[in-house]
Amino acid sequence: MSTTLSSELSDLRDAVADLLNKRAPESEVRRLMAGEDGYDPAVWSVLAGMGLVGLIIPEEYGGAGAGAADLAVVAEQFGRVLFCGPYLSTAVLTPYLLLALGDAPECTDTLPRIAAGELIATVAFAEPEAHSARPPQYPATVAESTAEGWRLTGEKTYVLDAATAQRIYVQAESGSGTSIFAVDAGAPGLVVSPLTTVDQTRKQARVTLSDTPARLVGGAGAGAAALAEALDRAAVALVAEQAGGALQAMRMATDYARTRYQFGRAIGSFQAIKHMCVDMLLEAESAVSAARHVAAAFDAGDPDRLADLALAQAYCSDAFVSVAATTIQVHGGIGFTWEHPAHLYLRRARTDAQIFGDPAWHRERYVRIREEN
């Protein structure tokens, strides 16, 4: 499949890039990462007005009904600037989950509000006991059906943007299998505790539920399959974000290598630095190709798309970490300082390599898929 962008996708990329250059410079990233909310509601409204928040939401629910290729182009630009905002959780993962569940009333109530930028929502699935950011096969969080409705008890961790979410969709064991439940912010027994993570440009939290009122979304027992599908589709955006971040980190390093002089010559003229820059270019461009290929595969319904995704998630995770770390090396002493942005890319790379499963998990998944086929 071709990874060259069409004229329409190029125009979309340029429009998003122009907006982010104006509204998400490094100074704004640093301001938002230091705050509790981690995003700017005014910028979020602009994104909604451009149709980017509702990009993948079907037109019948007020969205643009775009495909994976469009989403990948946007996510690539978000990764380039380390965008601070609940895009992955609210505009990507939540809509994919609701559409996979096929709950028409919930979609009608929620998706138009997300597309309009009026509702921040997220999905809670990882649990502390699992020591992984993947959904547990058997959730320890339990749902009990009472005369007053469903009640949830348990704990979730690594929940993206939970502190600002007005609605959290929680994976829990319902007695009929894994199910998805909606919990509104401020519900009795709901406690959201922000986590101190290595990457504060992407806010995460622990969610504790104690006999918390909830609403079943979709059929009982339908949660595992719907969540798996949603995570796969959302991962298309994640790998594109990783590719965009790697590409920008590489450009930072090569620009510095051209302008930093030592011993009367640009450091980029030294063989060791040349090798670093070439390796970064190869890894970053390969990550971009992998991310765009996977997006095209999902749009085309390619039967090998899940295997391709597993490889892309493993490769793009490793590539982003490698490029970001090498960028710091190329910059030398200044690259290790708080004032320089290089460390922000390494922090994002480390986080992105874990939130939907680490590279080892994705490699093992690839092997399982190939053995099954």
pLDDT for position 261 = 84
pLDDT for position 3 = 73
pLDDT in tens, 175-203: 899 999 999 999 999 999 999 999 999 99
pLDDT for position 1 = 61
pLDDT in tens, 35-44: 999 999 999 9
Any idea which architecture 122-221 has in CATH? Answer: Beta Barrel (2.40)
* Residue 100: partners with Cβ closer than 8 Å, 6 or more residues away: 225, 226, 227, 229, 230
Instruction: Report the C-alpha gap between 309 and 311 in whole angstroms.
Output: 5
pLDDT at 263 over 90: no
pLDDT for position 108 = 97
Q: Where are the domains of the chain?
A: 7-119, 122-221, 225-372
CA neighbor of 331 nearest in space, from 244, 258, 247:
258
Instruction: Report the C-alpha gap between 151 and 87 in whole angstroms.
Output: 28
Mean model confidence pLDDT for the chain: 95
Q: How far separated are the first and last CA of the chain, in Å rounded?
A: 21
Assess contact for 69 and 296: CB atoms under 8 A. Answer: yes
Dmax over CA atoms of the chain, in Å, equals 80
pLDDT in tens, 269-308: 889 999 999 999 999 999 999 999 999 999 999 999 999 9
Average pLDDT, integer, range 337-348: 96
Average pLDDT, integer, range 95-123: 98
pLDDT for position 193 = 97
Assess contact for 308 and 294: CB atoms under 8 A. Answer: yes
Q: Hey, is 211 helix, strand or coil?
A: strand
pLDDT in tens, 3-42: 789 999 999 999 999 999 999 999 999 999 999 999 999 9
Average pLDDT, integer, range 228-250: 98
Residue keyed to tokens 């090798």 = 275
Least confident of 104-118, 231-245, 329-343: 329-343
Domain 7-119 has CATH 1.10.540.10: yes
Residue keyed to tokens 């992998």 = 290
CA neighbor of 169 nearest in space, from 97, 256, 238:
97
Confidence bin at 2 (pLDDT 50/70/90): low
pLDDT at 112 over 80: yes
Instruction: Report the C-alpha gap between 9 and 334 in whole angstroms.
Output: 36
pLDDT for position 290 = 97
pLDDT for position 268 = 81
Report in angstroms the alpha-carbon separations of 154 from 142, 143, 220.
Answer: 6, 9, 18
* CATH code, 225-372: 1.20.140.10
